[in-house]
A and B are shown apart, each in its own frame.
Chain A
Amino acid sequence: MSDPSDFEKRTQQVLEESAARLDGRTLSRLTQARHKALDQLQRPARHWWRSYVPAGAAAATAVLAVVMWSGRPNVEGAVTQNAVEDMELLADTDAPDFVDEGEDLEFYEWAAGEVES
């Protein structure tokens, strides 16, 4: 009669061998799945307006510089409006992190709900 640890080692060996001997089709599908998942890291920002942030930041800086140095009151109205829009875009960069934290909170709320019976 084999002791538990021998049995565990044997079953582990067999399961690992089974996992190591997957067919080519399955291995290919797994590779594709992995690449598809990792592609998300390369994608443009989830929120369409995030792509405007770098341009918006540069524009806001240039606009503010023009306002401060040229001192042209009749430009200010239009400049201020654009600057405000750009600053809103910059401020909104905090939102994705908040959304991510929201998703984490959902995970932990769900985890807390999964109480051992």
Chain B
Amino acid sequence: MTSRALEQFLSGVEKRAFKIAQLGLRNDDDALDAVQDSMMKLVQSYASRSSDEWRPLFYRILANCIRDMQRRRTVRGRIMAWLPMRDAENEEDFDPIAAAPSMEPTPARRLELDEAMGVLETAVAELPQRQQQAFLLRNLEGLDVSETASAMGCSEGSVKTHYFRALATLRARLGEVF
């Protein structure tokens, strides 16, 4: 019973979780690793908890994985700075158009969506970490303020502040497109 419920839960969140990790890490492989690690940890340590707790717990674990990867990347970057120049791909900016998903609707609609996705994803990826977390958990994942606070490990007031600031930044930047 737990196994089936867990499978339903994980299959329901995996795409959005990947999206959140992708925007935080700006790398598809790292994002996949983060999602996999988070799934493993949730099942390992919290499978026996009430299913109501899984969502905030999972996103808390995911946020920690993303943060840990970002830190490792920072350390690695500092080490690499002392080595001969190489690996241009480490310096590459996130390309939202290249990362934009494939196929579907009418060509005109697709173009419109691709453009919107591209500019939105770039803007969200450049938000400060906490604002990005609050925005994606509330807006994409649909967590309420309380669940978001649990996932982020902060107060509900902080969630509202981070979310409000993220919205303000995005509106200022995307007002013309959206």
Contact = CB atoms under 8 A, between A and B. Distances in A.
B69 interface: no
A84 interface: no
B59 interface: no
A93 interface: no
Given A19-B140, A103-B45, A114-B154, A11 B170 contact: yes
Interface stretch (B32-40, B70-78, B83-91): B32-40
A103 B48 CA distance: 13
B16 to A, nearest CB: 5
Given A7-B171, A21-B104, A111-B153, A100 B39 contact: no
B43 interface: yes
Given A30-B32, A100-B45, A15 B101 contact: no
B7 A18 contact: no
B19 A18 contact: yes
B178 A2 contact: yes
B167 interface: yes
* Chain A facing B: main interface SS: helix
Interface residues of B, number: 49
* Chain B facing A: main interface SS: helix
Contacts of B28: 26
A22 B40 contact: no
Contacts, number: 112
Interface in A22-62: 22-23, 26-27, 29-30, 33-34, 36-38, 40-42
Contacts of A34: 7, 10-11, 14, 39
Interface residues of A, number: 37
A37 B171 contact: no
Given A12-B139, A27-B15, A42-B3, 4 more contacts: A16-B16, A26-B32, A30-B15, A36-B36
Interface of A: 1-2, 4, 7-8, 10-12, 14-23, 26-27, 29-30, 33-34, 36-38, 40-42, 100, 103-104, 107, 111, 114, 116
Interface of B: 2-3, 6-7, 10-11, 14-16, 18-19, 28, 32, 35-36, 39-40, 42-45, 47-48, 60, 100-104, 113, 116-117, 120-121, 124, 136, 139-140, 153-155, 157-158, 167, 170-171, 174-175, 178
